[in-house]
Structures are given as C-alpha cells and as structure tokens.
C-alpha cells in the first residue's frame, strides 16, 4: 500500500520537576536544602531514511511522544533526562503545521537529524533557591511542560525525471521498459493509483524516473486524485510528456499536451518552466503519423521523439536525450533550507491589553514564567513577582493605569494587582 500523506500527533518530553528536600544526617542539625534538579525532556527528531519509500507505518501509529525527564531527588541528585524519539521518514517528506498549513520542515538530506521539538527543561531543585536570607526554601521549580501538536506529513518523491500524460498513454509501460520497476499495467484508465519510481541507466549514468498517475482536466483541483499526485513532480528536474500519437482514446496529442501543460501551470507556475521532452508514444500504430504531423506543426520545430513502449522502438534515443539534459541541469533542492520552529514559545515577547478593567498579559515570556512557578507555594510566588519586576511588566502595568485590586490575567490564571 502506497501512502503519501498522513496526520499525526507529536510531542517532546516534559521536563522533570525539581525536588524539595532537606539534608537530614546524624550530627548535622542544619544540613540545609539538597533537592536536585529535574531531568530534561527528550527531543522529537526526524531523519530521512532512503530505505523507506512510503508513510505506511504512520497510518497505524498516530502518536509520537518523546520521553519525559525524571524528577530530581534528595542529596542534590539530578533526574534522568527523557529519551529522544527519532522518527524515520522517506527522503523528501514535508512536515506541515496541521492547524495553519505552514511548512515547518523538509526532511530532504538522508541521515541528517532535524529536531522538530525540543524537550522541556528540567525544574530547579530547592537547593538552587537558597540565599543568605532564604536558607531553607520550601519550594522548587516545576519542569517545563511541552505542548502536543498535530502535524501533516506529505511525501514529495525525489525523482530526476517525471513522466506525465493522460491515463492510458503508456507511461507505466515506458517505465517498465527503461527501469527495473514493474508497475501494474492494463488497458484501461486510472490503472496507476500511486506514483511508481524506478532507476534508469544510460551508458553508465543513472537517474530516478517517476511515473506520475494519469492527469486529467482539473487535476489541480483534485479531480481524479490529480492534486494528491501532482506534488510528486515538484522536485523533478526534467519532465517527459508522454503523448498518444495514435489518438486511440479519441483525443489528439496536441489537445492532450495543451491540457496537461495547463494543469501543471494551475498547480504550480514553476512546473511550466521546467525543461521538457516530448515522447510521442504508440508510433508503431497506423494512425500515429497523423498525430506526429499535428504535434510537429503545433510545437514549431521542437524536437519530438517517436517511440513505442510496446516494441522498444525509439526508446534508446529518447533516454540518451534525457541523460544528456540531466547532466546539465542542477539538482532540485529542499523546499526549506532551515526548519521553522513549531514551538514558538521560546523568547521574551509579551503584550498587555486592557479590556473592561481587566489587564490581559500574553506572549512567550508569560508562558515561560508561568511554566516555572508553583502557584501554591508563597516563596515560589514571591520569586515569580520578582521576575515580573525584573522584566518590567509591573512598571508597564502601572504606566497603563493598573491600580491596587485590579485583575491581572495570565492565560487561564488571574491575580490581583497589589501595590
């Protein structure tokens, strides 16, 4: 089964909580705090594996969560870090934010790790909060909790050459002749339900050829599954238009060529700028000569390769031309050279907005500070207030007119403003 698009849930590991512990030893009456830090949560990592061809495995397992960090313990013992989760995907897998549709990463280079989500940091133990005036802190810092995301994985085939054309023009037969691939072949439309790939070799020069499922009118809108399969030619360096020169389906090759070119352009204007070669198939049939003449007139001197995938006629000349052009064409690069952070909470941004007497504070800084506070410990809350002062949030609230007793909202948490 060929699966090239799936939606999964991903999450990096939570950080372990810091520990509250007091040293208790015989003959040491004032041992002081010795709570250790929590361990770091595991990262979520994607790696391109050339040995994987489809996203089939992801159809059965929809959740991918890295390991959580362990909590700290007494005697200043730091908790164990959570285990990283390495997810292997086919080369050419695009990762999108399912909610926004934004492309996050292009897993393109084999073996190169891409950290999609970093694990939460471990919380500090109470030993970290000891000062000359606070010698026995009874609070620690919770580990950073990470967020679960839903992402879509889309496979865009890594192929040098894309065979395009209407259903039943002979693309699958041509692929089976020029490569070791053995696609399903029969004399009816829509035989190919998934892209087939094969490796062709011409005079010692090898390249990958993709047989893209038959395109029809309005394929760019998803008709005939066209939209689902058109993305498989986005990375190709060269397009080979396979046309039925004999017109045995009742169409003429010129109309087919114009229609396919139109569909490619409606899907992506870049595809119409890609170098192309015209392969007029079924040249062994009696009506092919008329089709060849129509093509010659329309393409105005552009070289046309008459071939017969059934008999092998003209295949060698076609493939030598394909190889010659590929040697001069640059390799298509990834869609993104760098990953776009999925977790955008990292940073010190915040905003304050007053609505109906309530001051709403939002932003990455607020999220980070709330992650670090124990709302049920007065010492931890005092530390939280100190951080608000240091980042200028309290001063900005005063400047905006906040008074004693006004409500301050941090996400789902509300406080009273106290002068």
Of residues 135, 140, 132, the one with CA closest to residue 380:
140
Rounded CA gap, 30 and 135, in Å? 10
| pTM for this prediction | 0.71
**Measured CA angle at 323 (ends 315, 279), to 5 deg:** 40
Q: What is the pLDDT of residue 30?
A: 63
Rounded CA gap, 150 and 11, in Å? 9
226: pLDDT strictly greater than 50: no
In angstroms, the Cα distances linking 206 to 91, 179, 201, 320, 341 are: 18, 10, 4, 11, 37
Whether 403 contacts 388, CB under 8 Å: no
Reported confidence tier of residue 215, pLDDT bands at 50, 70, 90: low
Q: What is the pLDDT of residue 337?
A: 72
Of residues 7, 156, 2, the one with CA closest to residue 94:
156
Of residues 103, 117, 216, 220, the one with CA closest to residue 168:
216
Whether 288 contacts 201, CB under 8 Å: no
Residues 6+ apart with CB under 8 A from 337: none
408-411 — which CB contacts under 8 Å span 24+ positions?
408/358, 408/359, 408/361, 409/358, 409/359, 409/360, 409/361, 410/361, 410/366, 410/370, 411/362, 411/366, 411/367, 411/370
The alpha carbon dihedral of 154, 155, 160, 165 has a sign of negative
Residue 160 DSSP one-character state: S
Q: What is the pLDDT of residue 28?
A: 63
Rounded CA gap, 137 and 124, in Å? 12
Q: In the structure encoding, which two tokens stand for residue 372, read together?
A: 């670090």
Q: Greatest CA separation found in the chain?
A: 106
Of residues 271, 157, 159, the one with CA closest to residue 208:
159
**Measured CA angle at 84 (ends 83, 89), to 5 deg:** 140
221: pLDDT strictly greater than 60: no
Whether 86 contacts 113, CB under 8 Å: yes
Whether 242 contacts 281, CB under 8 Å: yes
Whether 72 contacts 79, CB under 8 Å: yes
Q: What is the pLDDT of residue 263?
A: 82
Residues found in the chain:
419
Residue 35's H or E segment, with its range, is none
Domains of the chain as residue ranges with CATH: 1-155 (2.70.210.12), 161-328 (3.40.50.300), 351-416 (3.30.300.350)
> Higher pLDDT residue, 346 or 141?
141
Please write the tens of the pLDDT for every residue from 355-374: 778 888 887 777 777 776 77
Phi, psi of 324 (to 5 degrees): -65, -40
Rounded CA gap, 59 and 155, in Å? 13
Query: What is the SS3 assignment for 70?
Result: coil
120: pLDDT strictly greater than 60: yes
326: pLDDT strictly greater than 80: yes
Q: In the structure encoding, which two tokens stand for residue 171, read together?
A: 């693309």
331: pLDDT strictly greater than 90: no
Phi, psi of 173 (to 5 degrees): -65, -45
Residue 155 DSSP one-character state: E
Reported confidence tier of residue 225, pLDDT bands at 50, 70, 90: very low
């Amino acid at each position: 089964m060929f699966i090239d698009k799936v939606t999964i849930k991903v999450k990096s590991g939570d950080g372990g909580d810091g520990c509250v512990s007091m040293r208790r030893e015989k003959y040491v009456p004032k041992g002081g705090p010795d709570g250790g830090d929590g361990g770091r949560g595991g990262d979520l990592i994607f790696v391109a594996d050339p040995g994987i061809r489809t996203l089939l495995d992801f159809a059965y397992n929809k959740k991918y969560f890295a390991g959580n960090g362990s909590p700290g313990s007494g005697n200043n013992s730091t908790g164990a870090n959570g285990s990283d989760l390495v997810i292997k995907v086919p080369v050419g897998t695009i990762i999108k934010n399912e909610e926004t549709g934004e492309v996050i990463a292009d897993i393109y280079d084999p073996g190169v790790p891409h950290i999609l989500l970093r694990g939460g940091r471990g919380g500090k133990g109470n030993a970290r909060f000891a000062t000359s005036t606070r010698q026995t802190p009874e609070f620690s810092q919770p580990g950073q909790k990470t967020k679960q995301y839903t992402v879509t994985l889309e496979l865009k085939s890594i192929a040098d050459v894309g065979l395009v054309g209407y259903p039943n023009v002979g693309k699958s037969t041509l692929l089976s002749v020029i490569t070791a691939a053995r696609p399903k072949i029969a004399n009816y439309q829509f035989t190919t339900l998934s892209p087939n790939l094969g490796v062709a070799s011409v005079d010692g020069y090898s390249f990958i050829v993709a047989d893209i499922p038959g395109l029809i009118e309005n394929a760019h809108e998803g008709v005939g599954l066209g939209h689902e399969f058109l993305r498989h030619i986005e990375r190709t360096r060269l397009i080979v238009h396979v046309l039925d020169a004999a017109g045995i389906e009742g169409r003429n090759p010129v109309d087919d060529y114009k229609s396919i070119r139109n569909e490619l352009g409606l899907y992506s204007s870049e595809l119409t700028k890609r170098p192309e070669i015209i392969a007029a198939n079924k040249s062994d049939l009696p009506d092919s000569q008329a089709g060849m003449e129509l093509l010659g007139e329309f393409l105005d001197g552009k070289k046309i390769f008459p071939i017969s995938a059934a008999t092998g006629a003209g295949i060698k000349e076609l493939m030598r031309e394909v190889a010659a052009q590929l040697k001069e064409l640059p390799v298509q690069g990834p869609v993104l050279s760098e990953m776009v952070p999925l977790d955008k909470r990292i940073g010190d941004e915040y905003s304050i907005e007053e609505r109906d007497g309530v001051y709403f504070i939002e932003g990455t800084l607020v999220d980070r500070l709330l992650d670090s506070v124990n709302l049920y410990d007065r010492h931890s809350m005092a530390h939280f207030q100190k951080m608000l002062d240091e980042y200028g949030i309290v001063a900005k609230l005063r400047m905006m007119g906040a008074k004693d007793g006004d409500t301050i909202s941090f996400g789902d948490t509300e406080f009273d403003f106290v002068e």
